Structure 1
Amino acid sequence: MSLPRRLAVIDVESTGAHPVRDRITEIAILRIEAGEVVARWESLVAPGQPIPPLIEQVTGISDAMVADAPSFEAVAGTVAALLEDCVFVAHSARFDFAFIKNAFARIGRTFDAPVLCTVKLSRALFPEHHRHGLDALIERHQLVCEARHRAMGDVEVLWQFVRQVEAAFPPEVLARAAERAMKAPVLPPGLPEGMLEAVPDVSGLYLFHATEEPPANGRRDPPLFVGRAQSLRARVREHFAPNVRKGRDAELAARVKRVEWIETAGELDTSLQELALLRTLRPPYNRAQEPAEGAFALRLLANRRRAPIYDSVPIAGTDPAGWEDLYGVFRNHREADNLLRELAMLYRLCPRRLGLEGGNGPCTAHAARRCAGVCAGRESIAEHDARLAGALAGVGIKPWPWAGAVRVAEHHPASGRSRHHVFDRWCFLGSAADEAAAAALAATAPRVFDVDIWRLLGRWLTVPAHLQQLSPLPAGEA
């Protein structure tokens, strides 16, 4: 036969996407033998933990609905009988398989079965398409779903899909596709079954941990690594692909025992949350973050005869509205020296007067005709320093383009998440869930300069399309 003779088409709904920590709330199973449905069963399941509001919104399953439902232990015998001697068929099958396997393990029973993933089956049969999620299959194949995100509704869709491809493809083609769809993935040694399949295909941040369970007190334990991605699922899988496991990457992959993720509303939301996590958690496999507390700008000292001819003025944590006659934004003195060397080359400035070279008399650049000669009496200090001030004028913080605070609205259609970020004079005032809360931030939050936020926002604003997400707040709210 093109497909295995006994199939159990199954779908589970749950309190979340984590196959170890979350619990089943509903199960539906169609047992198929020789192409005929021989058993149909569905049941709500008491999860023993609250159903998060977002999950309730998606599935329609509430705490009240499962309050009197049987526990998994009570239905385990029925589930085992329906799955016995069958190929386990589900969409992103390792996800559902992990929930069933872990549910059996928690009551002291073992479970195993050959698994056929209908996502992989669709990819094998329809490689010309890029999307193979259940909604994509429903639209592409005109399948009928009576109750999306309810277990039996999704199971019925999968059974329609299976019958449709059996009718559309020669048995040998379908058999080869089924073989590919049943091929077990190479699992990372430290991760539980179904963990990679549980990671959503949305943008956000992912955290790799060296422990299987988070701390019991509910606090976030320090991760090994924090990463970002437009597709969390694809990026996380890349870390565990055998062909990329080399050196430090291989060491990281071998240590990971838990994956957590944070879904975000968009690119700016991802960047802001990533910066906060890297600063507070300091993951050892990320590049070390240089402290931003030492940021400074330069203030030229008029008519100063000897170097240094400028002061380093601390600006971290200050309000840019109070800055006067400041040039540049530097995280450390290395950055400042590098800029001054570049300006010296471009504008024939004197390295000795800029404090980049010691000694007396003409500087080395003057001998090479790269200095106009303030060190050799060929030009006045006033002329040299005026040229320096002109060169520095284009360096550092540009004028804030708006009259007051602005709101950046981000919304991710796949996750449904929305965030409103508020900025003023290059300072981040905070993020809010709606416009009203954003306006309140603009009216009350202080402006505190952060060099990393300034650079992050500056990069984000260079993309013209991003400006469409930005709205100046009324002057009375800023």
Structure 2
Amino acid sequence: MLSRRIGYSAFPTLFLCFIEEEKICEVKYAVVDLETTGGNTSEGKITEIAIYIHDGEKIIDEFNSLINPEKDIPPFITSLTGISNKMVADAPKFYEVAKEIVEKTKDCLIVAHNSDFDYNFLKHEFKSLGYTYRRDSLCTVELSRILIPGKESYSLGKLCKDLGIEINGRHRAAGDARATVNLLEMMLDHPDWMDVSNENLTFDTYHKSIHKQLPKEIIDDLPEETGVYYFFNKKNELIYIGKSKNIRKRIMQHLSDRTTNRAIKKAREVSNISFELTGSELVALLYESAEIKKHKPIYNVAQRRTKMFFGIFQDMDEHGYVTFYIEALNENSADPVTTTFSKKEAERILERMMERYKLCQKLCGFQKTDSACFSYHLKNCNGACIQNEPVEVYNKRAEKAMRYFSYGIDNMLLLDKGRSDGELAVIQIEKGVYKGFGFADTSFRSSVEELISQVKPFQDNKDVNKIIRGFLRKKKNNLERVRY
């Protein structure tokens, strides 16, 4: 049997987080489970916590307590967990057990079934106390998918039932945490444990052996907020630009990424990091795209193209039908419906518009004829080419096509959260074209003119079109749309 007690000498790349100042430390796991008042860290609070400290062979310490969340527990949560308001009324508040949690989990890896949930809740509770709580972590959901493949479900209850692991108290912290310990022990005995756990270790703390080219202050100051970040090499050359809803988490993933030679090379070259907060995820996406096109970092490839060469334009014929045509872009071009890198790409877009909205080949510039277009004979055109279809009927479909390939509204402002509570992010769309973004005081919300005055110009392009259209299709984007 493979020993569960693992040190640096056993596997040189494993758990480098435990080597500081060249001191070799044993791996300890803090297996955690929480019960909460809800699934959202911004509103939910912890109602129960259980922690089992495991040295790789056995449990060596534990902590288990109900927590007074200082708010009502919703009835459906009580129904699920059995934890009621009466049960937690005399329980300690989180701040009363916080010090013990810090001490017990010191030098430990946090382990949980869906570690993002439990670890983020812990961090949020500590943050509310003004304390920064950071540990590296492992997720037993991710690990079990790899080490115990082929299971119908990887939820804790179903997985444990399938594996014969008894849960003494489902949806209670101690019962679920103890079952997670048993699951961890099963995986610790797997011959691939070292490789898999190393690859899936989530870093959230500074370690000299991993981040030796970066000062500790840079890692410690990384924010857990939304924005754009920049990697520089030792020559202070910009080598990579990225965006994230959690800048710190994403950067730590970059720095510990060993999945490809390119990722390893990039991580080793990072000697300095800077960032800009945006608050808004959409602004972060748009700004990242613009910055990549502007600076062309060597490790960014997908969005480095900058210039749009062709556009699809709208016009009207002598009978009043909406027409479309493709033309190279220049300084005197009218506002296009959409822009592309090539004429062929524009043609493909127009062809999709014709097929989706049953538009006329002739009116879309694909066929020059004085009679009906070829699509009419195939019954894919309703006869606008020979004035057999009413103008208003055809133009209504053409308008839908334009909205599909623009943003749905010709002139609008998209308002999102800014970088602080008193700020709004403002994205402007005018005549179906992206104009740019900016930040405005929330007091400007009722004034379109004031909001527009804060917008800084940015170039519209294919990537921007894709970003905005994709974001608008999201059901949960919290964007406020203001027509003007």
TM-score, structure 2 as length reference: 0.45
Q: Could you say which structure has the larger radius of gyration?
A: 1
TM-score, structure 1 as length reference: 0.46
